[in-house]
Chain A
C-alpha cells in the first residue's frame, strides 16, 4: 500500500492517459470550474471574515461584503488582545496542546509498533479495543466527575489526560497502518546484532515514523487547538484557552453584535495553525492521505 502516498510516477502515468483524451477547451472549462468553486465556497466567507474584522463597530453591526471605509484591522486585533485577554488564553492553549500531542505520539507509537507487528488473535482483539475511541464518543460528564475525584478538575494536567484518552485511539490507528508498510527486515538485522526491543524501537522504528508522526501531530493539534466541547466541561471558569475565550467573548452580552471583534479574534486564533499548515502543507497533505486509507 505504499502507493497510497503521492507517488509521482503513479500520477504521471495516470495523467498521460487523461491528457491524450482531453482537449485544450476541456482544460479551460475545468480550470474555470475550479476557480468558480473556490470563489463561491472559499473566497466569499474568507473575504467577509477579513473585511468585517477591519471595520469599526458601527460598520460591522450588519455584516456585509463591502470594504471598510477605513481599515481598523490592527486596532481591532489590539483591542481583542487587550480586552479579550488573549495572552492567558494563548498560554492555556499551548499548555494543554503541546503535552497532549507529545504524550499521544509517544505512547501511541509504542503501542502501534506492537499492534503493527504481532499477528495473534489476542493482539488483534486488544487492538480493536484500543482503537474503539476512533468511533465511540467519550463520556464527557463522568470524565469531569472522575477528574474532580482525583483533584485534577479545572487544571491543565487534567485536561491533558482527557485529550490523551480521547485522541490516543486515532493516533494508534494511523501509526499502526503506517508501521505495517515498513518491512520488518530492517529490525531483524539489528536484532541479529543483539539490539534490545527498546533500542530497536527508538533508533530504527521511531525515526522511520516521521511522516506519519507529522500528520498525526497535525490531526491531533487540529482537534485540540480548536476544541471547545471538552474544555467547556473540564476547564470552564478555571482556565482559559483560545476557543473557550472566543466562546465567552461571542456569547457575552457586552460583545453582542461586535462582529468586528469576533472576526478579529477568529483571524488571530487561526493564524498559528495556518502558518504551520502553509509551511508544511506538502508533507501534511501526503501524510494524511497516506495513513487513512488502509
Chain B
C-alpha cells in the first residue's frame, strides 16, 4: 500500500507504471483481498497446523502429535485407498465431461433452431442440484430400477445388473453421471472456442480439399486449445473436490470403492475425529496443488506451441 501513497504525490508524467498506480489504485483489491485472506488463506494455513494435532470432539485440549494422524490413516489403508479412488474419479470425470462436452459442441455448432434448443436443454442438468441429479440416477440405476426394466423389456426377462453394486465398475458409472451433470457447461466453453476460429482458416482448409473429419482434427481441434485448458483443468481439479453426486448415488460404497476424499472428510468429521478429517483435507489440498501446477504449465505450453 505504501507505493500507492508515494505515487500519488509523484507527477503523472513519470511513465506508464506511475500512471497505472495512480489511475488504478491498489486499494480497490483490498475488500476482495481481505475476504480471501480471512476466509480462504487463513483456514488453509490453519489446515497445515491442525493436521498435526490431536484435535477431537472428545478432548478439551488440542496438542501437537506430529505425524500420528497421517500414520494412522496410512496404516488403516484409508489414506492410499482414498487417494487412489479420488485420482481415478478425477481422471474419469475429466475424460467423460470433456468427451461429452466436445462431442455436443461439435454436433450443435451450427446455429439452427433445433441446435439452439438442444444447447438449452443440455444445460438443464448443469442447473440442477447435483444431489438431486444423483437421486434421479440412483432411481435409474438401482437393481430394480429403470435401466434394468428397459433392458428387461427388450430381452424379455428380468435383468438384475447391479450398476451401483460393483467394486470395479460403479466408480466408472458415477463418473459418467458426473460428466452428464456438467457436460452442458463443457459444451458451452467448447462452443465458444469453436466460434473464435477465423472463418478464413476454415475456408482455406476447404479450398485445400480437407473433409469435415480432417478439418476438425487438424484445424479446429488444435485451435480450441484454450477452451481445452480451461475444461480439462477445471474438470480434473474440480472433481477431486466433489461430494454430492457420490453421496447421492453410492454414499462411498460398495466397499469404499467410490469413497473420494471429501466423503471421508465429512464422515470422519461427523464422528468427532476433527484432526483426522483435517489431515485428509490437507492431503486433498496438497494433492490438487501437486497436480495443478505441472498440469496448468503443460496445458499452457501446449497452447503456446499451437497458437
Contacts and interface: CB of A to CB of B under 8 A. Distances in A.
Nearest to A41: B180
A115 B195 contact: no
A271 B183 CA distance: 20
B135 A266 contact: yes
A199 B108 CA distance: 43
Nearest to B185: A288
A269 B277 contact: no
B281 A292 contact: no
Contacts of B127: 222, 270, 273-274, 277
Contacts of B50: 141-142, 145
Interface string B228-250: 00100110010011011001100
B195 A114 contact: no
Contacts, number: 286
A17 B212 CA distance: 11
A221 B121 CA distance: 19
A7 interface: yes
B13 interface: no
B288 interface: yes
Nearest to B233: A135
B199 interface: yes
Contacts of A269: 129, 132
A122 B227 CA distance: 27
Contacts of A21: 206, 212
Interface stretch (A71-79, A81-89, A161-169): A161-169
Contacts of B284: 137
B129 A246 contact: yes
Contacts of B244: 226, 228-229, 243
A123 to B, nearest CB: 8
B40 A138 contact: yes
Interface string A239-263: 0001100110010000000010011
Given A48-B136, A136-B288, A197-B25, A42 B121 contact: yes
A97 to B, nearest CB: 13
Interface in A260-294: 262-263, 265-266, 269-270, 273-274, 277-278, 281, 285, 288-290, 292-294
Interface string A107-129: 11011011101111000001000
A169 B234 CA distance: 13
Interface in B117-175: 118-132, 135-137, 139-140, 142, 144-146, 149-150
A143 interface: yes
B139 A285 contact: no
A189 interface: no
A256 B31 CA distance: 46
Given A113-B28, A137-B285, A262-B135, 12 more contacts: A4-B195, A48-B146, A108-B32, A110-B31, A111-B32, A126-B29, A138-B43, A139-B285, A247-B247, A273-B127, A289-B192, A293-B226
11 contacts: A49-B136, A117-B24, A130-B33, A137-B288, A140-B43, A145-B43, A146-B38, A146-B43, A165-B39, A168-B32, A259-B139
